[in-house]
Amino acid sequence: MKPEENASQFQCPRGFRGWLAGQVMAWWNSGINRLTLEMMDLTPRDHVLEIGFGPGTLIAKIASRAVDGYVAGIDRSATMVAAARRRNRKAIDRGRVELQPGEIARIPYPDARFDKVCSVNTIYFWSDPEEAAREIARVLRENGQLALAFRGAESSQESVPAKTGLGAYDIDAAKGLLTRAGFHDLTTEIRRLRTMTAVCIVGRK
């Protein structure tokens, strides 16, 4: 498979190859998901949105902590929506989790709906990062929290290749993006994992 095809399957998994990409993501993202969960500081009553939930492994962990709250997720891939719904079926049946197709440019929820929003390894694929960051801010309540996690690059020379969408993302560029969208009190955690240099930036609206 060509690099561009690999990138396409991780950006929007489709069919059997997309299902396989989801299995890879579940393994590859296990460490960065743990970091994100740790940084979010969840409480039982939190209302949480995950953008680009993939196979739904982090959704399951969030739901296990926000036991009296509400967990929602959007993903552009119908293949991943189906996989994540299977993984989280019991919580969905109990009305605690809602997963649906959706794009970050048009999050299908009203203003100030969530206490917390997270997104892991999606920033490389945002077609308009400025618009995406503003849209996240829109659905967060006042003083709400964003946890944005990605494979980090500490210099622009190492940052994401535009052709394939795969690689790492410049940490300072991500911080600037969130600051311009109105996020403040940014905290950055960098963790060297076996599979990547994981970065999680947490900010308040």
Please tell me the distance from the alpha carbon of residue 140 to that of residue 125, in angstroms, as a whole number: 21
- Beta 140-153 vs 197-204: how paired, if at all? antiparallel
**pLDDT of 152 higher than 50:** yes
Q: What is the pLDDT of residues 161-179, one digit of tens each?
A: 443 345 689 999 999 999 9
Q: What is the pLDDT of residues 32-74, one digit of tens each?
A: 999 999 999 999 999 999 999 999 999 999 999 999 999 999 9
Tokens found for residue 187: 């905290």
pTM of the model as a whole: 0.84
Q: Worst-scoring range by mean pLDDT, 81-90, 150-159, 160-169, 192-201?
A: 160-169
pLDDT score recorded for residue 184: 98
**Over pLDDT 70: what percentage of the chain?**
80
Q: Worst-scoring range by mean pLDDT, 69-83, 87-101, 146-160?
A: 146-160
Band the pLDDT of 150: cuts 50, 70, 90: very high
pLDDT score recorded for residue 86: 94
Domains in the chain and their CATH numbers?
3-204 (3.40.50.150)
**pLDDT of 11 higher than 70:** no
Q: What is the pLDDT of residues 181-190, one digit of tens each?
A: 999 999 999 9
pLDDT score recorded for residue 84: 95
Tokens found for residue 142: 């006042």
